[in-house]
Amino acid sequence: MEGIKKPYRRTARPFMNGNYPWGPGTYIRHPRFAQEPEMYVRAFRLLQKDLEHLFEYIEPGDDNLKCYSFRVNELLLRACVEVEANCKAILRENCYPEERWWTMADYRKINGSHHLSAFEVKLPYWHGEQRIRRPFGPWASDEKLEWHGAYNATKHDRREGFKKATLEHAIDAVCGVLVLLSAQFATEDFSLTDTLVGDKPAEGFEYAIGNYFVVRYPDDWPLAERYDFGLDWCLPEDPFQNFPYTVGPLSPAPSA
């Protein structure tokens, strides 16, 4: 059985031999793979830094998941904006039609191309049982993302929705950004040096961009959906292809 002979834009996948995510010529660093990817990585690093700062005041643990505050709300809003920014970049650079107002129904299609729902993120310090997060897990059963719903609730109705801006939702939103980056760029942070340090993570997990979280990559890729190209993959002028997303009914733009 053959796999994918030409990599998709902004899409990191395992190869036929199971190696994940690196492959011939580190295709992720190719200038045509993604437009200005370092901008998205830098934005995430700021989110991660602010989450770590928040943990100086709210101890990371199960007992505090329902805490809410303006600082938590701010982090939730910014993280969800970055989630949408990454989703838009993936769709746009894969030539998804732009003559429509994109919604979460459009962004959910990225789960089919990147297996977002199968990613797990593990926090390095945590008290309790909720240390491993699956921010896009509900998409596996076609359910809504509670943390994104909380983002909309507090954004559109501060008085009624403020209590939904919880630490749990903020953490999942930040982890959602990391999952999207990992699904696009794996551990590549587009710096000039490799900065991954520290003890070896738990079996099945890998250090993630930012060197704080660790990530378990999806292992549910069928062979036919894995990459299968050699060292000569980059010979064409444009060695990448667009993912063939299906397009549903047009969505009207929201009223001003």
pLDDT in tens, 97-111: 876 788 999 999 999
Task: Assign 247 a pLDDT band (cuts: 50, 70, 90).
Answer: confident
Average pLDDT over every residue of 244-254? 64
Q: Which residues contact 193 (CB under 8 A, 6 or more apart)?
A: none
Contact 41/181 with Cβ under 8 angstroms? yes
Task: Tell me, yes or no, whether 162 lies in a domain.
Answer: yes
Task: Tell me, yes or no, whether 141 lies in a domain.
Answer: yes
* Window from 49-58, 143-152, 160-169, 203-212 with minimum mean pLDDT: 203-212
Task: Tell me, yes or no, whether 156 lies in a domain.
Answer: yes
Q: How far is CA 161 from CA 138, 142, 155, 248, 255, in A?
A: 21, 24, 8, 30, 21
Task: Tell me, yes or no, whether 7 lies in a domain.
Answer: no
pLDDT value of position 195: 43
Query: pTM of the full predicted structure?
Result: 0.82
Task: Tell me, yes or no, whether 3 lies in a domain.
Answer: no
The number of folded domains in the chain is: 1
Average pLDDT over every residue of 232-238? 71
Task: Tell me, yes or no, whether 248 lies in a domain.
Answer: no
Task: Tell me, yes or no, whether 18 lies in a domain.
Answer: no
pLDDT value of position 190: 82
Average pLDDT, the chain: 87
Percent of the chain with pLDDT over 70: 87
The domain of 106 spans 24-225
Task: Tell me, yes or no, whether 10 lies in a domain.
Answer: no
Average pLDDT over every residue of 62-89? 97
Q: How far is CA 45 from CA 52, 57, 213, in A?
A: 11, 19, 11
Percent of the chain with pLDDT over 90: 58
Task: Assign 20 a pLDDT band (cuts: 50, 70, 90).
Answer: low
